[in-house]
Structure 1
Amino acid sequence: MLTAAQALAFLAAAVMLTATPGPDNLMVLGMGMSRGRRAGMAFGLGCALGCLSHTLLAVLGVSALLAASPLAFAALKAAGGAYLLWMGVQAWRHAGAVRVDGGAMAEAPLRRLFAKGLVANAINPKVVLFFLSFLPQFVVAPQGPVAWQLGLLGLLFTAQAALLFGLLGWFSGSVGAWLNRRPRAGLWLDRLAGTVFIGLGLRMIAAR
């Protein structure tokens, strides 16, 4: 089981990273601005639930690695920390203004928009790599089965992403307009995300 401190630390990092403008949430905002709230919410919920496939891959892959060698699991966490550190540095180097595209998009049923978001997230190799790097950072091996901890962390990530993306879809017009009126907001949000990545990466690299 996850401890309260473990779950809260994970949720704080997950919410901060999910809320930072990226391809998924910018598409949710653009969809909502163009097609309306229901379209934005449908696409956003599909993106969020796509995280379940990455959770399954992380559970199977990391659990197999730990069973084969605890040392290999430690190496994975160290490599994941280095990857998160690299992502943080890149976020700072390439931080820039964000503009939400609310232009017209092709009409499609809500279920098709949901499926589009689901598939787009599920087959994204960058998200797979992110999950393999991010989730293990919050696993405490002596605390209980690693697979169970990874599964719970993945479900927590998916739940908060579904909530945030749903809210983004619902308030897409207001949020998109706010971001477009404040071009420097994206710069600081990118830097905030970069700081979180760097902090997580350094934490794991320094950990014994």
Structure 2
Amino acid sequence: MYDLNHWIVFFTAAFALNVSPGPDIAYIVSNTVAHGKRHGFAASFGVCSGAIVHVLAAAFGLSAILAASALAFSAVKWVGAAYLIYLGIHALMTAGDGFAIDGKPRQSRSSFAIFRQGFMIDVLNPKVAVFFMAFLPQFADPTLGHVPLQLVLHGALVIAVGLMVEAGIVLVAARFTEALRRNPRIGLWLDRALGTVLIGLGVRLALQQRGAH
């Protein structure tokens, strides 16, 4: 049985990790600012769904392949970087299309499309896989048995904390951009900002090394 100190340390670490700026937060905030609260939540759910894949991979040993194989790590990294850059270029080419004259976001892109992109962005980031493989075992107790299930439990809790943190971020971002959205010309710059962020994330991922943090 885990003691109180275990949970205090774990949830403190999980909260600190989730509030730290990173590619996931940048993607969520960018979509909230560019397309509204609904798309922000869709981005958050997509990113967290992708994290579930990494948690299961860490629990059952698949992430070890990425950590041990430079070829596998590079392959996933470059596919992920190319995908991000493609999304960024697409956003730049359709700049401003997501906004109507009255300032209300158009539904030119479905929430599911944003969810799917967030899912793929997280799944195709090998650093997330390596992170969960390194982070989760620190909180597993072999004496309690069923180590994979312990890893899944702690991974699910990290994701749950992330959902709560990201929900707050989406609400704050949506509140501050609501007034901006009333100006139809602002849509052009919001979509350009989204495209620039996505391309930047793609370049950042492409430049990452296996041992970098």
| Aligned pairs, number | 139
Note closer, same or farther for the CA distance 1:118–1:155 as it changes in structure 2 (3 Å cut).
Answer: same
List alignment gaps of at least 5 residues for structure 1: 65-75, 77-102, 177-208
Aligned residues with identical type, % of pairs: 30
TM-score by length of 1: 0.59
What CA deviation, in whole Å up to 9, does each residue of 1:120-141 have, x standing for no partner? 1122111001111111111121
Higher normalized contact order (CA 8 Å, seq sep 6+, divided by chain length): 1
Give the aligned residue type for 1:44. S
SS in 1 for 2:109: coil
Structure showing greater radius of gyration is 2
Question: How far apart in 1 are the matches of 2:3 and 2:96?
Answer: 46
Per the alignment, residue 25 of structure 1 pairs with 25
On the 8 A contact 1:35/1:104 being kept in 2, the answer is no
Give the aligned residue type for 1:150. L
Question: How far apart in 1 are the matches of 2:54 and 2:14?
Answer: 15
Question: How far apart in 2 are the matches of 1:12 and 1:141?
Answer: 22
User: Aligned-residue CA RMSD in angstroms?
Assistant: 2.6
Per the alignment, residue 168 of structure 1 pairs with 169
SS in 1 for 2:21: coil
- 1:142 is aligned to 2:143: yes
TM superposition shift of 1:38: 1.0
Give the aligned residue type for 1:132. M
- Structure 1: 4+ residue segments shifted above 6 A: none
SS in 2 for 1:21: coil
Per the alignment, residue 112 of structure 1 pairs with 113
Give the aligned residue type for 2:14. A
Question: How far apart in 2 are the matches of 1:165 and 1:155?
Answer: 15
Note closer, same or farther for the CA distance 1:147–1:171 as it changes in structure 2 (3 Å cut).
Answer: same
Question: How far apart in 2 are the matches of 1:127 and 1:50?
Answer: 10
List alignment gaps of at least 5 residues for structure 2: 68-94, 99-107, 178-213
TM superposition shift of 1:174: 5.2
TM-score by length of 2: 0.58
Note closer, same or farther for the CA distance 1:144–1:5 as it changes in structure 2 (3 Å cut).
Answer: farther
Per the alignment, residue 40 of structure 1 pairs with 40
